[in-house]
Structures are given as structure tokens and as C-alpha cells.
Amino acid sequence: MADDVAGRGLRERKKERTRRTIRERAFSLFRAQGYAATTVEQIAAAAAVSPSTFFRYFPAKEQLVLADHLAAPLIAEFRAQPPECSPLAALRAAVRAVLRTLSPAELAFERERHDLLYRTPELRSAIALEIERGVDMLTGLFAERLGRDPADREVRVLAGAFVGAALVTVLGRPLDWRALDSAMAQLEDGLRLGRSGG
């Protein structure tokens, strides 16, 4: 039994190493020759894997940029926040907690990934899918924390408000975590500017 668990652990580590290698080689090629000019075959060759292995890890080339490895730790941190925290306070605390775990190299990669996503014409159509995915994920998390149905329109509006605030904070600008935190604080404060007499 212990050998089986150890074997699974080893396989998972090997898979994660392969996934990271593919992504690192891909981003090196994107830097050198541009996203559009880089083919899956070139990425696979640079990572010393076959194209079929590439597709086992990334269903399409754009997934190299879209895949967000911070989502799982963010969800875990959100769920770990005290029950008395509002959804926005829990999300803000979760983002801060995840950021504290990232090395300078990982933070730099996230900035590069963000910049590539928003400045590459071939990826523009994928942004809409990412927005929808983000709203869906947050709607589920917020509904869970509030004890409400994910189909509740108010819960979805709250998730959409966060995604919208995040989007206008980063759109066309370098990724700035402090600006994102400030946007979350504005939302928590009830967007006073939008209220009568604000």
C-alpha cells in the first residue's frame, strides 16, 4: 500500500515536472519569436516530448497561457478563511495568502503570462472564455460561503462585480497586485462613488 502511494506520488511529481518544462520552453520560444510564430511541434521538440504528449498536458497552444495554476491554491485559501468573513473579504485574504507563497520567479511568470494574454491578438477571443470561467468559479465559491444557490442572480452579480473590477484594473496595464487589492477594497467598501451623495 505504501509503495502504491509512493509510486503515485512519484508519477504526479514527474507529470508536474513535464508540465512545467513544456510551459517554460514554450514561453522561451514566445519571447524569442512571438506567440503566433511558435508551433506546438517546436514547443514539443524544445521540451523533448512528442506532440501527442504535449496535447495530453495542454489541449491547445493557448492553454499554455490560459492555464492558471493559482486557481487551486486560491480556492483552498478561500475555503480556509473564517466563516464570519464576507465573500469579498475571504477572497481578498485568499489572494494575499497565495501571493505570499510565490517566489519572485513565479510572480514574474504570472506577470509575463498576463501581459502575453492581453497583448496577443490571437488570444483575444480566449479572454472572454476566461472571464466566463472566472465568474463561474467565483459564483460557486461565493454561493458556498453564503449558503445560497449558485443560480442566485445576486451571487452571480457579486462574482461579476469582482471580475469586472479585476479586469479594468489590469486591462492594458502591467499586472499590479496592489492595484488589484485596492480594487477589492473598493468593492468591500460598497463602491461609494456609485451611491447617491458618493
pLDDT in tens, the chain (198 residues): 555 556 667 888 899 899 999 999 999 999 999 999 999 999 999 999 999 999 999 999 999 998 878 889 999 999 999 999 999 999 999 999 998 998 998 888 888 988 888 888 888 888 888 888 899 999 999 999 999 999 999 999 999 998 988 888 877 677 788 888 888 888 887 766 555 554
Residues 89, 143, single domain; the answer is: yes
Residue identified by cell 502504491 is 4
Q: Note down the domain range covering 107.
A: 68-198
Residue pair 29/46 in contact by the 8 Å Cβ criterion:
yes
Q: Which of the listed residues 60, 90, 111 is the one where a domain comes to its end?
A: 60
What pLDDT does residue 124 have?
81
3-state secondary structure of 37: coil
We report the CATH number of the domain holding residue 42 as: 1.10.10.60
Cα–Cα distance for residue pair 169/174, rounded to 1 Å: 9
Residue identified by cell 512528442 is 50
Q: What separation in angstroms does the CA of 144 have from each of 86, 113, 173?
A: 12, 30, 32
Residues 32, 82, single domain; the answer is: no
What pLDDT does residue 117 have?
86
What pLDDT does residue 111 have?
87
Burial class (CB in 10 A: 0-12, 13-18, 19+), 115: middle
What pLDDT does residue 34 have?
94
Cα–Cα distance for residue pair 168/131, rounded to 1 Å: 12
Find, among 79, 70, 66, 64, the residue nearest to 102 by Cα: 70
DSSP characters for 180-192? Answer: HHHHHHHHHTT-G
* Model confidence, pTM: 0.78
User: Phi, psi (5° rounding) for residue 28?
Assistant: -60, -45
Residues 76, 149, single domain; the answer is: yes
Cα–Cα distance for residue pair 29/56, rounded to 1 Å: 20
